Structure 1
C-alpha cells in the first residue's frame, strides 16, 4: 500500500494535469478515428503490407492540400499631383465684384461669358453634326481625312489620265458552251497557264478598317482598285504607281514597304461601324463615276470629274446590303436587310422609287442579269436563291396599295418610296397579270450569303454558310418563256469553308467580269489563299505567299479586261495585288 502510494506520488503533478486535459480535449470522432487506424494497422501487418502501415496514423509532417501562400503584392503607392481646385469663374468674379469690380468691368465680363457660352454651344453642335449622316453634296476637300493630310491633286491627275468611257461589256450567252469536254479542259488550261504563277507584286494598307467590298477599274494601263471599309471610308489604290521622291522609306526593308499610292475619302458618316460601305459599283457608262451603298442607309454617287459626292437615295432607317446596275446604267436595284428589293430610275427623282418585299429575312445580295437585264437574282438569310422577272414587278399597279399610298403617289412633290409588302407581291404574282414574275428558287442548307450572274447572263455562282459553292447553268431558251424554270437545280457543288466568324468579312465568290475568256471566279480561302475556279467548278489555282500574306483574303475581285490580274483585301485594311512578276 505504501509502495503504490509512493509510486503514485512520484508522478509529477503538472504532467498529470496536462495528460488529463489532453484526453478531455479529444472528441468522440477523433477517438473513433484512432481506433480505426489501429484496427487497419493490425490488418495490414497481418497481410505483410508494411508500407501501408507506415502511411497510417496521424503524421505531423503530412502534406497539406491547400495551395501555397502566395507572396503579397505590394501595391505601389500612387503619387498624385496636387492640383489647384477648380473654381467657378462666374462665382469667383461675382465675389470679387462686390469688392473691386466696377459696373463697366462687370458689363465686359458678362459679355465675355456670353461669347464663351456661345462658342461652347457651337462646338457641341459641330460635334453632334459630325456624328450624323450627311445628306448634302460634298467636295473632295471635305471628304478627305482631316487627321492625315493628302495630296488630292495627285488623285485628280491620276484620274485625268484615264479615259471617261463606258466599261461594262456583256458576253454572248452561247459563248463557251461546248459539247465536247476536251474543249472545256483546253479552255481551263489556258486560264491556268495565265494565272497559276501570279505573285504579290504590291501591297498596302489602303484603308484602316476591315474591308467589306472591292471593285477593279477597267483601265488597262493602270491597276486602280477601289476598296470600301467598315467605317465608311473609300480607299483608292493606284497599286503600281511609282513612289514619290520625298517618301523616306530607307529604313524599311523593300518587302515591307507599301506599294503604289492610295487616297482615302470619308464618303459616309459617322466614321463608325454604322456607316460600313456594303457595296461598290462603277457606273457602267462612265468610268469616272462610282456608286457606294452604306449601313448609314444611303447610296452616294462619287464623280471624279466634278470632284463631288452626292446622295442619290436614302431609306428610312433600313440598312442597305447590296446594289447592282444593268449595262445601260440608267437603273439600279437595291437590296436591304428587311427583305426588300428597291428599283430606282436614276433619271428620275429619288422619291419615285418602288420597293418590293421579296423575303421575310435579309436579302444580302442582288444581281442583275447583264445580257437579260429584266431578270434579277436574290440571295437571302432565308436560305433561298430566287430568280425574278423585273418587268412583272415594275408592272405592279399602284391601285393595289392602300388609299393613303395612292394619294401620296399622285402628288410628285410629296411622293415617297412606294411600298409593296409581301402580301401584295405574292397575291399579284399568283394572279394572271403577274404570271411569270417569279421564275424559280433553290433552298440552301444554311443562309445564302451571295449569288451572282456571270458576264454572259447564263450561269450563277452562290456562296452559303453550309460550306458549299454551287453552280447553275440555265438554258437560254428558258428565259424566253413566261413560266417558271422547270428545275432550278445546281449542276456542281464545291466544298469550301465559309465559316468566317465575327471578325472576317463574309466570303463571296465573284465572277471575272471579262466576257472574252472562259467563265471563272475568285473566292477567298480561310487558309490565307485566293482561290480561282472555272465555271465548271474545277479548281484552277490557289494563290498564296506566307511571307507576304498572313491573313484571310476575304474580299476578292478580278480585272475586267486582263486575265492576269486579281486583287484582295483582309480585315485589317491591307490590300494585295496579284500579277505576273515584272521582267
Structure 2
C-alpha cells in the first residue's frame, strides 16, 4: 500500500511540476518535510476517500490544498501543454531561409559629418555666385561681345533714330567743364551746407534708367544741361538727359556695349563727349557722341577687369586694375590696338584704382583688406612693391580715393562698418589715420556695396549711401561730422552709389533696381 501511494505521489508531483514549477518546488519541500503526509493524495477524496484514517493528522487546510494541487494538475494535463511546447520547439528549430542582405552604399570620403556654415568657413557656395563676389571672365550662358566698335543703338527706343541723332549732337556740342571754378578757394562748411539744403528730389528727377542694379554712376560736366550716365550689372549703360521733359521714356536711352557688370564709368576730362566704361567682361570701351559708336579701347580675354583711372590729364593713358591683382598701362595714342604694359601688384585682388590728382605718378589701390600706394615709375612685371601700405582694416575694402583737388586726404570704405580718412599730404613717409567714422556698410547680398566718394567742389567733404530710415544720402566732413543728409519723400530705396557734379550742386544716386535719383535745385531743371 505504501509503495503504490508513493508511486502515485511521484506521478502527481510530476504533473504539478509541469504546470506550476515554482509552487511544485515549494510543495515538494513541504511533503518531504512532513514524510507520509502526502502519500495517499492521489487515492484520497476528501473525507470519504479510503485510507483516510492514515492521514487523520492532516488539518482541513492541508487536505484542501492537496486537493487543489491534484485538480490543477489534471486540468493542465488535459490541455496537453507539454505536447504543444514540444511542437513549438520543433518549429523553431527548423532552418529558416537566409535573409537577403542589402549592400550599404560606401560613405564618400568627401562627405561632411555635420552641417556647418559656409559663411563661417569662408567658402563660396557651390554653383551660386554672389552679386558682390569677384566675377569670372566668361560665365556660362553669357558670351562675350565681338571685338571692335559697336554702334550706338538704344534698346528701349524703337523709332528714335532722329531723336537719338539730335540728342547725340546736343551732347557732343556741350561746353567743356571749366577747371578754373573748381580750382578756386573752397567754400566754408557753413555756406556749403546752405547750398546742400537747397537740393531736393522730386518725381521729375527720379527715373528708371537701366534694367538691372546700378553698379556705376557718372555726371556730365556740362554747365547748361544735366546728363547722367549709369552702368548696370547687366552690362547696360543708361543715359538720362534731364533737360528733355515729356513722357516717362523721353530722355532715357539704354545701350548694351558690355555683357557683364559695368563697374567703372567716367566722362573724359579732356573731351566730355567721350564716355569711357569698364566691364567685368574684360573690355574697356569709349562711347563717342560725335560718331555714335562705342569704340573698343582695351580688351583682355584672360583676366577680368575691375577698375580704371586716367593716368594723364588729357586721358591719353589709362591705368587698369584686374580682379586677380594685375595692372595694365594702356596708351590710347598708338594707332589701331592700344599699347599695353602688364604689371603685377602686391595685392591678391584689386577692387578700385585711383590716380593722385596732382602728383599723377602716384596711385592708390584697394584690395581685400589692404590699401597700397604705388609709384607708376617703379612698377615691375613680376612683383611691384608699394611705397606705403596703411593698415587697420579688419574686413574687405570696397574703395579708396584721393581727395579731388590736392590729394592730401584718402577716404576708404570698409565692410567693418567704418569709414576712414587718412592724411596723404606726405606720401614719401607715412599716411596716418585721421578719422574713423562709424557707418553701416552692410548692404547685404542683393545691394551694390557702398563707396564713399569726394565732392569735386569741396576738398574736405565726401558722400556715401546710407541704410538708415528714412532713406538718405549722407555728406560727411573729413573730421567725421555729418554735414548734411539728403532725403525726401521720393527717395524710398537705398542709393548705394552716388556722383556729384564737378561745378554745380547736382547729385545723382543709383539703386539696385536701376533707378536714378537726382538731387538738385529747382531752378536747375
TM-score (norm 2): 0.67
Deviation for aligned residue 1:199: 1.2
1:264 alignment partner in structure 2: 254
**165 and 580 in structure 1: CA distance in 2 versus 1, 3 angstrom threshold:** closer
Tell me, yes or no, if the aligned pair for 2:209 and 2:516 is still in contact at 8 Å.
yes
Q: Distance in 2 between matches of 1:336 and 1:362?
A: 7
**What are the within-5 Å matches in structure 2 for residues 143-542 of structure 1?**
144-145=154-155, 148-149=157-158, 151-162=160-171, 163=173, 166-167=176-177, 169=179, 187-201=188-202, 202-243=205-246, 247=247, 258=248, 261-269=251-259, 275-325=260-310, 326-348=312-334, 350=337, 352-381=339-368, 383-393=369-379, 396=380, 420-422=381-383, 425-426=384-385, 438-456=387-405, 457-475=407-425, 478=426, 484-485=428-429, 487-514=430-457, 517-527=458-468, 528-542=471-485
TM-score (norm 1): 0.61
Deviation for aligned residue 1:157: 2.1
Query: 5+ residue gaps in structure 2?
Result: 1-139
Deviation for aligned residue 1:448: 1.2
**230 and 172 in structure 1: CA distance in 2 versus 1, 3 angstrom threshold:** closer
Q: Distance in 2 between matches of 1:441 and 1:150?
A: 54
Q: Given the alignment, which residue of 552, 555, 561 partners 2:497?
A: 555
Q: Residue 542 of structure 1 aligns to a residue in which SS?
A: strand
1:337-366 Cα deviation digits (max 9, x unpaired) = 101121111112646312222134221000
More helix by share: 1
Deviation for aligned residue 1:575: 0.9
Q: Residue 314 of structure 2 aligns to a residue in which SS?
A: coil
1:60-105 Cα deviation digits (max 9, x unpaired) = xxxxxxxxxxxxxxxxxxxxxxxxxxxxxxxxxxxxxxxxxxxxxx
**What are the within-5 Å matches in structure 2 for residues 6-17 of structure 1?**
none
Deviation for aligned residue 1:165: 5.8
1:132 alignment partner in structure 2: 144
Q: Distance in 2 between matches of 1:149 and 1:466?
A: 46
Tell me, yes or no, if the aligned pair for 2:454 and 2:461 is still in contact at 8 Å.
yes
Deviation for aligned residue 1:582: 4.4
Deviation for aligned residue 1:150: 5.4
Q: Distance in 1 between matches of 2:479 and 2:181?
A: 17
1:557-583 Cα deviation digits (max 9, x unpaired) = 101111x21110111001111012349
Q: Confirm whether residue 578 of structure 1 aligns to residue 519 of structure 2.
A: yes
Tell me, yes or no, if the aligned pair for 2:175 and 2:222 is still in contact at 8 Å.
no
**550 and 238 in structure 1: CA distance in 2 versus 1, 3 angstrom threshold:** same
Deviation for aligned residue 1:543: 1.2
1:21-45 Cα deviation digits (max 9, x unpaired) = xxxxxxxxxxxxxxxxxxxxxxxxx
Q: Distance in 1 between matches of 2:174 and 2:286?
A: 16
Q: Residue 189 of structure 1 aligns to a residue in which SS?
A: helix
Q: Residue 188 of structure 2 aligns to a residue in which SS?
A: helix
**356 and 175 in structure 1: CA distance in 2 versus 1, 3 angstrom threshold:** farther
Q: Distance in 2 between matches of 1:328 and 1:372?
A: 15
Q: Distance in 1 between matches of 2:179 and 2:516?
A: 26
Deviation for aligned residue 1:148: 4.7
Deviation for aligned residue 1:518: 4.7
Q: Confirm whether residue 566 of structure 1 aligns to residue 491 of structure 2.
A: no
Q: How many residues align?
A: 377
Q: Residue 351 of structure 2 aligns to a residue in which SS?
A: strand
CA RMSD in angstroms, aligned pairs only: 2.6
Deviation for aligned residue 1:229: 0.4
Q: Residue 441 of structure 1 aligns to a residue in which SS?
A: coil
Query: 5+ residue gaps in structure 1?
Result: 1-127, 177-185, 248-257, 270-274, 397-419, 427-436
Q: Distance in 1 between matches of 2:503 and 2:159?
A: 30
Q: Distance in 1 between matches of 2:182 and 2:228?
A: 26
Deviation for aligned residue 1:190: 0.8
Deviation for aligned residue 1:300: 0.8
1:429-488 Cα deviation digits (max 9, x unpaired) = xxxxxxxx624433411111101111222211111111111112222xx35xxxx42x32
Q: Distance in 2 between matches of 1:582 and 1:353?
A: 46
**164 and 172 in structure 1: CA distance in 2 versus 1, 3 angstrom threshold:** closer
Which stretch of the first structure deviates more once superposed, 455-464 or 437-446?
437-446
Q: Distance in 1 between matches of 2:416 and 2:389?
A: 21
Deviation for aligned residue 1:196: 2.2
Tell me, yes or no, if the aligned pair for 1:239 and 1:577 is still in contact at 8 Å.
no
2:101 alignment partner in structure 1: none
Deviation for aligned residue 1:309: 1.0
1:29 alignment partner in structure 2: none
Q: Distance in 1 between matches of 2:182 and 2:391?
A: 25
Deviation for aligned residue 1:130: 8.9
Q: Residue 391 of structure 2 aligns to a residue in which SS?
A: strand
**472 and 450 in structure 1: CA distance in 2 versus 1, 3 angstrom threshold:** same
**521 and 232 in structure 1: CA distance in 2 versus 1, 3 angstrom threshold:** same
